[in-house]
Amino acid sequence: MVQFMKYFLRLQNHFYEHNPSSNSSCPSTPLKWCINDYDGYKFCIQNPTLLPLSILALLIGLFCSKRISKLSGKFPSRWFYYLAFFLYGIMMTSAGILHCFIGDPPKNKISLKFIQLFVTIIDCSLTTSIAVTFLFCGLSDIQFLNPQSIFTHCLLFSSYFILFLLWTLAIIHEWNTIIYALYVGVISICCFVYLITQLSIKSNRRALPILIVGGIYASIGLIAESFGAEHICTSEGPFWSQYFGPEFIWCLFANISMAFIFIYVIRTNIEKQVIIKKYPIDMEKNPEKF
């Protein structure tokens, strides 16, 4: 998603056969590595540096979600954290498929165009849905929402459906303001609220530096892909920006950020178990004894 807004403009121009005009310093066409076999069939990978990052993200999502599901002790918001990491792996996998294998299909390949549009919507919807899931994680951690409630689960999945619908309409109709709001706005607000909820939990404060570091990496990646994309491409030049441009930085820093968040979740869970073992008295029922 190099220069996120311009990406979707180019995508829509491709569908409606408009002629895009852009003086961006970022490469207008993705880098391709192709292999020709004896039958003349050409297999190409676009944006090859993104492929290992997508595979790594899938492994992070699967490993972290499985590890969180097996955490011992009382962890009411376990399912929401599990879902957030699992969706992250799926989202980055769809991004890898989109940017490394689908790319821009020929104009006569209508079926591939539809697949490209569908995978793009899935990728973007999951990106925002993950941020919303972390919002639910934070609100459940402070007991603002009941993580065991059917209402909370229905509210979360209703949010997913609304985001999917908004992304579909925004991409098809080129609603640039809505695209920007869904991507930068919703993600920033959800992550900020999640950070506030974690700051309000006293037992988590020892592990907060880990979360803050993860948040810094995520913020830098988001800025690199949106506001700073043009500056990065200009600084790196046309050659290196093909390999390590804004999208590469976003994917790399997103993986690092999720790894730090996973460590934070594990650390806070361990610290809560230590507190419970050290203080067998129920702190919620007898807070005056502490």
- pLDDT per position as a tens digit, 69-89: 888 767 888 899 999 999 999
Judge whether 288 lies within some domain.
no
Judge whether 287 lies within some domain.
no
- Whether 278 shows a pLDDT value over 70: the answer reads no
- Whether 68 shows a pLDDT value over 60: the answer reads yes
- Whether 28 shows a pLDDT value over 60: the answer reads yes
Judge whether 126 lies within some domain.
yes
**pLDDT for 188:** 87
Q: Which of 39-43, 45-49, 123-127, 281-285 has the lowest mean pLDDT?
A: 281-285
**CA atoms of 252 and 221, how far apart (whole Å):** 8
Confidence class of residue 104 from pLDDT cuts 50, 70 and 90? low
**pLDDT for 288:** 58
**pLDDT for 275:** 47
For residue 2, give both structure tokens.
Answer: 């190099």
Judge whether 142 lies within some domain.
yes
- Whether 227 shows a pLDDT value over 90: the answer reads no
State which residues form the domain around 155.
Answer: 4-18+49-280
Q: What is the pLDDT of residues 115-171, one digit of tens each?
A: 888 888 998 999 999 999 999 999 999 989 999 899 999 999 999 999 999 999 998
Which has more confidence, 278 or 230?
230
**pLDDT for 6:** 46
Q: Residue 109 gets which letter from DSSP? A: -
Confidence class of residue 1 from pLDDT cuts 50, 70 and 90? very low
Nearest Cα to Cα of residue 203 among 135, 141, 140, 146: 141
- Whether 289 shows a pLDDT value over 60: the answer reads no
Q: What is the pLDDT of residues 248-267, one digit of tens each?
A: 888 999 999 999 999 999 98
Judge whether 225 lies within some domain.
yes
Please state whether the predicted TM-score (pTM) of the whole model is above 0.85.
no
Judge whether 154 lies within some domain.
yes
- Whether 14 shows a pLDDT value over 90: the answer reads no
For residue 275, the one-letter residue type is: I
Give how many domains the chain has, as a whole number. Answer: 1
CA atoms within 13 A on the CB side of 226: 15
| Mean predicted confidence (pLDDT) in 181-204 | 87
What integer best gives the mean pLDDT of the chain?
Answer: 79
CATH code (residue 241): 1.20.1070
- 46 three-class SS: strand
**CA atoms of 69 and 85, how far apart (whole Å):** 11
Q: Which of 31-45, 78-92, 218-232 has the lowest mean pLDDT?
A: 31-45
Alpha helices in 142-283 (DSSP H): 150-173, 176-180, 186-199, 208-225, 229-244, 246-278
Judge whether 40 lies within some domain.
no
Judge whether 270 lies within some domain.
yes
Confidence class of residue 287 from pLDDT cuts 50, 70 and 90? low
- Whether 111 shows a pLDDT value over 70: the answer reads no
What are the residues facing 35 on neighbouring strands? 43
